[in-house]
Amino acid sequence: MPSRFKLILAYDGGPFEGFQYQCGHRTVQGEIETALRSLGWRARHILSAARTDSGVHAVGQVVAFDLEWAHSTGELARALNAALPREIACREVEIVRPDFHPRFDAAGRRYRYRIYQAPGRDPLLDRFAWQVWPGLDLERVQRVSRSLVGEHDFRAFGSAPRCGGNTFRRVGRAEWETDDKQLSFWMEANAFLFRMVRMTVGSVVRLGQGRISEDEFLGLLREPEQGRGGPAAPARGLCLMGVDYLGAARDHRAALRRDLGE
């Protein structure tokens, strides 16, 4: 009998056309499924926690699949890493309950967006961070970012997975950390709209450079209108850091489907 396996993956999203499988394009999901088929997996598609965009990275993506495997989870991790391209790595493997779903059982997701402040481009930073100049007023940026915490309609910062879907999300963390000339924006929420983090960062950078006022930024939450935020920050600065799960998965799954309008 097959078991359901949960994997935590890291990948450099630069060479891929996003996570989700697309016929004729190189995607993270496509590479994982190719590797699994070499180990005897015969299903059509794996399940995933997040569909990261083209160029977005991850150190905590979660996927699940059913597989008949007679060896240990450690041996499965080694076999997968031997079959995967160098841009993708399996970090952890565990057996989970048969109905585990990486997306609908998730209680929240954590993203980090990296910026470096410099007048010239740094090739060693540029693959995983966005060069911004002039630099940001960090005190102003931090103060306004805190206003994102709580439940809001984020339609100005992204779009729902389905046409007409719910655009309200609950944000538990939205703050900046500094390290020399680099800045990291951390955002945690129960779920995210498409491009929500990147649109938020784009708006905050405009604010931090004095191109919009604090009142204009807060107006994106008070009177949300599709597409008023942004423009979206480049994909290369964004990384999915982790996905959190609750024990009461079935009740949570039903509630999340209701919240997302699915």
Q: Which residues form the catalytic set? A: 53
CB 239 within 8 Å of CB 58: yes
CB 58 within 8 Å of CB 240: yes
* Dihedral (CA of 39, 44, 49, 55) sign: positive
Q: In angstroms, rounded to a whole number, what is the distance separating the alpha carbons of residues 262 and 256?
A: 8
Whose CA is closest to 224, among 261, 144, 169?
A: 169
- Angle 65-257-33 from CA coordinates, rounded to 5°: 20
How many C-alpha atoms does 178 have within 13 Å on its Cβ side? 10
140: which strand partners? none
Whose CA is closest to 41, among 72, 80, 99?
A: 80
Whose CA is closest to 155, among 250, 261, 32, 24?
A: 261
Q: In angstroms, rounded to a whole number, what is the distance separating the alpha carbons of residues 78 and 82?
A: 6
Q: Across the chain, how many H-helices and E-strands are there?
A: 7, 10
Looking at residue 171, its amino acid is V
